[in-house]
Structure 1
């Protein structure tokens, strides 16, 4: 089973051209389950451009759900004050969605960007797959709030991760692999955020010779930040049981190449292949 996560860069850049490049990339990758961040949708749910997740789901023949950010001010200001389009996270699946839920994430004393985590129980071959996606605060000095947000995500997973597969958490964490927040949510380099919740980083199963940078993909960002791409996007998977269902088989980067000269996003996607377990691939 192929799972994927991708930050779609909201309505920045030439978004109509990028939308087509995103769709064509997904058509080529053919993920079974997909977590998306910075997904735009019209504020009233209508209009010719509707919701990007819904548009992609219709084109790809997938089921979908999305979580609108409850705080939109910063995004609207970055979009020239246009309040007609909102931002959120979404899940797409080739298999039916059995259940969905969302969780508001804390901001503490930091800027409140209205971050949420979105859960979908996927009716996957062999039984339900508990799938989560999220997008954390982005400030360079905001590791503390990202830790708090991931503690809430871990609690959410602990409440909802009941199925035939171990839980899968995807998203843009705005944190590199050695940051405190990643150590916390993985739960095997320090005490886990929720007792016994250990999540394996799919990047551990990637070819070490291949690049892993997922953000800073555009020339403008390379000039601003003065370095190559950072790894801040992840697929984390719970430890499989004896059936080996949900075991990570491989991981790689995707969506980092232009499509007919159009860069789909300022993020690359992450793709991981999971085992179907006994009797499956």
Structure 2
């Protein structure tokens, strides 16, 4: 067996994934809903992972959802063969994680739609606790034999302790479970801000532009 390629020769497969915290029905929702639908239609992702989901189906045949204060959803071109949800304890607002196994064209694709509940800048410790609960959930539900994607709103920038725990820049909370950051690996080289003051609905929060949302692939 070739130690460098224990899986055999690579076969190129492309999956287009979109993750989006759609902020429920807050603000000018009718206009926001129209724009959300337009963006999804234009980019035509295979899998859409939504946080603070408000019931949007967006034309996808297959869907799964996790309820609660911070609901999450997975919309897919491919059937959902297994699903499970988990609350991520810690702080005043628990996070939510929804796991779905999809019947992809080359075999099972495992995806997690995630929102970390704490958004305050001074609550890194709370987010770290929720990340620990998340990685335990991933290890418990996902098979290492098939691709796994963890996508969502972590309310933390890439250099934060909570994200460094996931990307191998500090000790991982679940030994052996480390993720690649898709924007870092394959982005356009820009900052990739997902909280942007160019968004008039975000601007009143008075936060600086940051990247809080991620597509992470398990290594």
TM-score category by the smaller chain? Answer: 0.7 to 0.9
- Whole-angstrom CA distance in 2 between matches of 1:142 and 1:163: 31
TM-score, normalised via structure 1 length: 0.68
1:133 equivalent to 2:113? Answer yes
Q: Does 1:2 align with 2:1?
A: no
Q: Which runs of 5+ in 2 are unaligned?
A: 1-14
Cα deviation, 1:86-141, whole Å, max 9, x if unaligned, reads x511111100001000011111xx21x24211000011111111110111121221
- Report the counterpart of residue 124 of structure 2 in structure 1: 143
On the 8 A contact 1:129/1:163 being kept in 2, the answer is no
Instruction: Give the match for residue 47 of structure 2.
Output: 33
Aligned equivalent of 2:11 = none
Structure 1 CA distance for aligned equivalents of residues 162 and 121 of structure 2: 13
Query: Which position in structure 2 is the counterpart of 1:115?
Result: 95
* Structure 1 residue 166 displacement after superposition: 2.3
Deviations 1:6-29 (A, max 9, x none): 010211221012111111110111
Q: Unpaired runs of 5+ in structure 1?
A: 41-50, 73-86, 240-281
Is 1:14 matched up with 2:25? Answer: no
Q: Which has the higher contact order (CA 8 A, sep 6+)?
A: 1
What CA distance in whole angstroms lies between the structure 1 residues aligned with 2:35 and 2:201? Answer: 19
Classify the secondary structure of the residue corresponding to 1:39. coil
Choose from 118, 123, 133 the match for 1:152. 133
Per the alignment, do residues 92 and 106 of structure 1 end up closer, same or farther by CA in structure 2, a change over 3 Å counting?
same
Matched with 2:148 is 167
Number of aligned positions between the proteins: 203
Larger deviation: 230-239 or 214-223?
Answer: 214-223
**Post-superposition offset of 1:208:** 4.6
TM-score by length of 2: 0.86
Structure 1 segments, 4+ long, off by >6 Å, are none
Identify which of 210, 215, 219 aligns with 1:235.
215
Shift of 1:196: 0.6
